[in-house]
Amino acid sequence: MGKYFGTDGFRGEANVNLTVEHAYKVGRFLGWYYGQDHKAQVVIGKDTRRSSYMFEYSLVAGLTASGADVYLLHVTTTPSVSYVVRTEGFDCGIMISASHNPFYDNGIKIINGSGYKLEAEVEQKIEDYIDGKTEEIPFATRENIGRTVDFAAGRNRYIGYLISLPTRSFKTMRVGLDCSNGSASAIAKSVFDALGAKTYVIHNEPDGTNINKDCGSTHIESLQAFVKEKGLDVGFAYDGDADRCLAVDEHGNVVDGDLILYVCGKYLKEIGQLKDDMIVTTVMSNIGLYKACDKIGLHYQQTKVGDKYVFENMMENGYRLGGEQSGHIIFSKHATTGDGILTSLKIMEVLLEKKTTLGTLTSEVQIYPQLLENLRVTDKKAVLEHPEVKKAIAEVTEALGSDGRILVRESGTEPLLRVMVEATTQELCKEYVGKVIDTMKRIM
């Protein structure tokens, strides 16, 4: 991770540690960098948080001042920006979003011309420019100044692409959607309606400050209640920029990313569309997923936390399915990033083809109790390297043995340490997480 860019772009509180000046300089650099031998073309999307408009205009000012033409998708999803970049020949794409974070945070995600997250070496060059470590970039003048273009048509083409993927009508299905008052509000219902589903939607009235607030994939309780109240067949919850999806089965039970990987992985294996019968997970995936996979001959690999690392592994090895417990699921045949709406469509495909319920499909996996707690710290590495913290982690590891595990890691986007324990009971999880967290607090 760099000074500004983490595992998922440049993220921070709007106008506190991610300011309009930062956005302007990002735009200035990208417009120059991609426009050195031709007139650069950049596409921008944004989510519904209040500061997204401010950052959009700052980025546009920087890009056009460096000579780039900018195409505006307006409110849309992160995966739609990736899709438009790679199918419409843009030099790069920018998504303005802080994903699942609260409305006062925001972020700048940069996507390269292939639809992948921007290379680390280019991010470093942007950081050097922001910090004044490189020469000033010349302004474009006269006819070389860039322009802006309304490009809502690009978002509509992405919607059409999603609608084209399913091979069966959804007309027999009653589906609930929680749009998190975010990007999915502009897209998800229209996709499901077009496919014939009887669609019930909640949290699709964004006001700039209610994105992710007690809703969406990080607060799925209201969708659980909604599915049970309405007697729906299935429900899907997205995050602020709709690159994540969690599901709710017909009984109101949460189906997280691990269970989605199992359901879709098993199905793709059965129909011969899973290379080497392999799925790609992160170190956060539950032991229960792996035990269930072992029973059916579904293989798996682990990466560091972050869909960026999952995708890198998939591309390097040609794998078709990977993702995170949090709901970032990548179907590499169709997308180059996690796509919440696409994920929900692929789950629908399994339900319709297997003629069964999501609850039945997930019942084959016995998930181990898991507890994750975050601790805000000023120096993540110093705390992690402290001898007392190392000792506490080692003691918990030894106590758990083969019946569980502990994982302590740095957040890639926030000043947090994350402590996760899996064990045979929730009580043990609480005891061991508490032991490590208490040790960290004591030495701070």
What is the pLDDT confidence band of residue 328, given thresholds at 50, 70 and 90?
very high
Q: Is residue 139 domain-shared with residue 42, that is, in the same domain?
A: yes
Can you list the positions of beta strands (E) in 113-151? 148-150
Q: CA 340, CA 342: separation in Å to the nearest integer? A: 5
Distance CA 257, CA 277 (A): 18
Indicate if 149 and 277 belong to the same structural domain.
no
**Residue 201 belongs to what H/E stretch?**
strand 198-202
Query: Would residue 402 show up in a list of annotated catalytic residues for this protein?
Result: no
d(CA 406, CA 214): 28
- Residues for the chain: how many in total? 444
Q: Is residue 160 part of a domain?
A: no
Inform me whether the pLDDT recorded for 1 exceeds 70: no
> Kind of pairing, strands 9-13 and 234-238?
unpaired
| pLDDT of amino acid 112 | 96
Task: Please check whether residue 97 is in contact with residue 89, taking contact to mean a CB–CB distance below 8 angstroms.
Answer: no
pLDDT in tens, 52-92: 999 999 999 999 999 999 999 999 999 999 999 999 999 99
Domain boundary among 154, 188, 206: 154
* Amino acid at site 444: M
Asked whether residue 435 carries a pLDDT value surpassing 90, the answer given is: yes
Confidence at residue 247, expressed as pLDDT on a 0 to 100 scale? 98
Examine the domain organization and report whether 349 and 388 are in the same domain: no
Binding site, residues? 99, 239, 241, 243
Residue 284 predicted with pLDDT over 90: no
Query: Quick one: pLDDT at residue 2?
Result: 80
CATH of the domain at 383: 3.30.310.50
Please tell me whether residues 87 and 20 are part of one structural domain: yes
Where residue 444 falls among pLDDT bands split at 50, 70, 90?
A: confident
> How far, in Å, CA of 397 to CA of 386, rounded?
17
Between CA 392 and CA 344 the distance in angstroms is 40
* Residue of 362, 359, 175 whose CA lies nearest to 251: 359
State the pLDDT at residue 156: 96
Residue stretches of the annotated binding site for Mg(2+): 99, 239, 241, 243
- Give residue 305's pLDDT: 84
Give the range of the structural domain holding residue 408, as residue numbers without chain letter: 370-443
The CATH code of the domain that includes 56 is: 3.40.120.10
pLDDT digits (tens, 9 = 90+) for 107-117: 999 999 999 98
Amino acid at site 251: H
Residues 6+ apart with CB under 8 A from 5: 120, 123, 126, 127
User: Could you tell me the pTM of the whole model?
Assistant: 0.90
Catalytic residue among 51, 52, 66, 99, which? 99
Residue 200 shares a structural domain with residue 178: yes
Q: Which residue, 106, 129, 154, sits at the end of a domain?
A: 154
**Structural domains of the chain, count:** 3
d(CA 430, CA 120) in angstroms, rounded, equals: 37
Give the percent of the chain with pLDDT over 70. Answer: 100
